[in-house]
Amino acid sequence: MMMKLRRMLGLRDFTLFEDLESEEITELESRSQTRIAEKGRLLYLPGDRSEAVYFLASGRIKISRLSDNGKELILEIVEPGSFFGETGVLNEEPHETMAEALEPSTFHVVPEVRFRAMLKRCPELLMKLAQLMGRRQKKLEKRLMDVVYKNAPQRLADLLLELSQNYGVRDSRGILLRIKLSQSALGNLLGVSREIVNHTFSGLRRRGVITVAEGHVIIQDPEALAALAA
């Protein structure tokens, strides 16, 4: 579902639409809007009406929800080539999550009515959507199982390894994660406190497993990190 491209993507570049005819894509593009969000902008909040499906062309979007006591849990970091906001549209219900731009982002907005009409007209598109949503659900289920069966250091190690696959670049120091996530954000991804993340980070740095430079995590010993995650 994610595509590691730096250029701004058009709708025809998205996996969801790869089997559509060129005429259908052209029509969809004519009915959609392209918008820009600065870092920190909220695109929707829980309770907002689900008016469109968003297709991320560039940047990164954080999808999260709040617990009853106001604690944030990050569900997903959306990458270019992926989409979000579809659940409320499909269920005809308000949003249960909130979407926030982690960095300047560009996205294509397909109105609810147009998206639902296209699904009715193109059964193969509905099947593709189900497949992509199924992969996303599988990732969420894995995180839930990790909460049950793994301790916080194991889950943090596992998350850093996952981030290294999506954002890692090798340099002389090790594997640098191009994405910047605060310890609070990492805690919100894992469902633990910032203090636990800080304590685990300190231990990993003392052992030479990771280091941090200018807000970027650098994995110095991926084998040791993998052993901790096991």
Domain boundaries, the chain: 11-148, 150-229
Query: What are the pLDDT tens digits along the chain (230 aa)?
Result: 333 445 578 999 999 998 888 888 999 999 999 999 999 999 999 999 999 999 999 999 999 998 888 888 999 999 999 999 999 999 999 999 999 999 999 999 999 999 999 999 888 999 999 999 999 999 888 888 888 889 999 999 999 999 999 899 999 999 999 998 889 999 998 989 899 999 999 999 999 999 999 889 999 999 999 999 98
Q: For residue 150, which amino acid is it? A: K
Are 10 and 57 a contacting pair, CB within 8 Å? Answer: yes
pTM: 0.83
With residues binned 3-state (H G I as helix, E B as strand, rest as coil), the percentages for the chain, rounded to 5, are 45, 25, 30
Q: What is the pLDDT of residue 4?
A: 41
- Does 150-229 match 11-148 at the fold level? no
Task: Give the C-alpha separation, 47 to 6, whole Å.
Answer: 33
Task: Give the C-alpha separation, 182 to 217, whole Å.
Answer: 10
SS (H, E, C) 149-165: HCCHHHHHHHHHHHHHH
Q: What is the pLDDT of residue 80?
A: 94
Are 190 and 159 a contacting pair, CB within 8 Å? Answer: yes
Token reading at 31:
């009915």
Q: For domain 11-148, which architecture applies?
A: Sandwich (2.60)
Task: Give the C-alpha separation, 31 to 118, whole Å.
Answer: 11
CATH topology of domain 150-229: Arc Repressor Mutant, subunit A (1.10.10)
Residues 6+ apart with CB under 8 A from 117: none
**Centroid of chain to Cα 203:** 27
